Amino acid sequence: MILVVGAIASGKKEYVKSLGYSDSDIADAILDERPVLYNLQDMVFSDPEGSGNLYDALLKKEVVICNEVGSGIIPVDETERKAREATGRLCNRLAQAAERVVRLVCGIPVVIKG
Amino acid sequence: MRILLTGGSACGKSTYAEKLAMRFSTPRYYIATMRIYDEESRKKVERHRQMRKTKNFITIERDTDIHLIELSRRGTVLLECMCNLTANEMFDRYGNITDVYNKIISGIESLASQCENLIVVTNDVGSDGGKYDESTQEYIRTLGRLNISLAERFDCVYEMVCGIPIVLKGRLL
């Protein structure tokens, strides 16, 4: 599995397409048979408490794309705060298992693992 | 050796900081700055205590005034974290703001002079670009200036992303 992270509009999806995937390979925040999962953070935000259960299914994906959501001022709103932390912790676990982790900055893929 | 670790929420800073500390000389001091004021902070402190349980840290709980800390022996200090310390120093319970930059810098220098290795965990609070009220903006600016100053003084600066250290200054240990 390749984990692709980065800020909003940092070029994550374009990068994944450059690996040979097309729009029809990319599932938007839903688990199905498509090889690429996009917007993982949306799945975590819709159910932060249960997000750890996504782990096994995500490992079977070829590519997982997630926004980096942990930067900046810690939100006052508890739900938002917990969702941010849950996203971070899930990504830490995925990064450990991933064969490669790529972080997009200004459209530039920076390989941080593998 | 002085190391600064930065990054957003839940990016693996604490885990990595503890892992680094375990490779350095003993005794290992953990300076805990979180102020316990509700159930969530209590849980967070408990989670960190569990993480440190088997690692033989001497825990020093001090949510302000780190310049008063006196270490009995030279060893390794892990200070966690700058964002709590700065908020605790800046805002009293009436919401009054104090200028704390020099106070915190001398506190860090005092710690650095008493140990062989110092690891400081901070946070990346300025990078959401959001507009906040004046006191929060002042907090963001103060922590930003502190981070810059520590990065200048320290040997290594790492940004944590998904639990992976990215070297911004120095080398990977």
Query: Per the structure, how many domains does chain A have?
Result: 1
Chain B nearest-CA distance from A91, in A, is 6
Q: Six-digit token pair at A83?
A: 């969702």
CA A102 to CA B103: how far, in whole Å?
Answer: 39
The reply to whether residue B129 touches residue A101, judged by beta carbons under 8 angstroms, is no
**pLDDT < 70 regions, chain B:** 95
The reply to whether residue B125 touches residue A72, judged by beta carbons under 8 angstroms, is yes
The reply to whether residue A72 touches residue B11, judged by beta carbons under 8 angstroms, is no
pLDDT digits (tens, 9 = 90+) for B20-50: 999 999 999 999 999 988 898 899 889 888 8
CA B110 to CA B114: how far, in whole Å?
Answer: 7
| Contacts for A87 with CB less than 8 Å, ≥ 6 apart | A40, A41, A44, A45, A51, A66, A67, A69, A70, B10
Provide the pLDDT for residue B44: 86
CA B173 to CA B171: how far, in whole Å?
Answer: 6
Q: Which CATH number fits domain B14-160: 1.25.40.10, 3.20.10.10, 3.40.50.720, 3.40.50.300?
A: 3.40.50.300
Residue spans of the domains in chain B: they are: 14-160
- The CATH number linked to A66 is 3.40.50.300
Provide the pLDDT for residue B57: 95
Q: Six-digit token pair at B18?
A: 């503890």
ipTM of this complex: 0.92
Neighboring chain A residues of B127 at a CB cutoff of 8 Å: 71-72
pLDDT digits (tens, 9 = 90+) for A20-32: 999 999 999 999 9
Domain containing A81 equals: 2-113
| Contacts for B24 with CB less than 8 Å, ≥ 6 apart | B1, B75, B76, B116, B117, B119
| B45-B99-B8 Cα angle (round to 5) | 40
The reply to whether residue B10 touches residue A78, judged by beta carbons under 8 angstroms, is no
Determine the 3-state secondary structure of A68 from DSSP: coil
Chain B nearest-CA distance from A58, in A, is 15
